[in-house]
Amino acid sequence: MKSVESPKFIVDINVGKLARWLRMMGYDTLRFDGDDDWRMIITALREGRIMITKDTQIMKRGVITSGRLRTILITSDEPDLQMQQVLESLNLDCQFRPFTICLECNQPLVERSKEDIEKLVPPHVFQTQNQYMECPACHRIYWKGTHWQAMTRRIENFMKGSPKQNIESGNGQ
């Protein structure tokens, strides 16, 4: 199967919460926790990542004003609105590859059989869930429990509140 080129991201610490949301949708996303902007820019360029920041000073750098490094300047303080801005400005699919990347370490998850994880998850989870994924780096086990459902609902809400969606659904010419 041919792999489709999908956008990859690096998020600045000032919008660090976006990393988990993007990973949850399946987008390869680094979180930059340092304070050396230049290192973040170099990483973005080297790895072909779109940079996301709230820092207006970074936007003045030549590498960004020239368009060489694609950067999204987040305007809201509200995480939901921040996510909405990212999804809209890149026209991202929020159902891209849900729950295929570890939320903590950005590693692609590996499918695990129910037998493999029996001793690793609480008994009530084992009894009710049949699909499990494991992070090869931190060995967290993921399943589609209530936390997963809550996050999925919240993503759907980002998009429901989006003005663009309202225009599209109210297409009455």
The residues that touch Zn ion, with contacts defined as CB under 5 A, are 102, 104-105, 135, 137-138
- Shortest Å, Cβ 101 to Zn ion: 9
- Shortest Å, Cβ 138 to Zn ion: 3
Instruction: Output 63 or 120, the one with its CB closest to Zn ion.
Output: 120
Environment class of 53 (CB within 10 Å of its CB; exposed 0-12, middle 13-18, buried 19+): buried
- Shortest Å, Cβ 112 to Zn ion: 13
Instruction: Output 45 or 121, the one with its CB closest to Zn ion.
Output: 121
Instruction: Output 14 or 107, the one with its CB closest to Zn ion.
Output: 107
Dist CA 24 CA 169 (whole Å): 26
- Shortest Å, Cβ 77 to Zn ion: 28
Instruction: Output 59 or 138, the one with its CB closest to Zn ion.
Output: 138
- Shortest Å, Cβ 103 to Zn ion: 8
Instruction: Output 42 or 110, the one with its CB closest to Zn ion.
Output: 110
Q: How many residues make up the chain in this entry?
A: 173
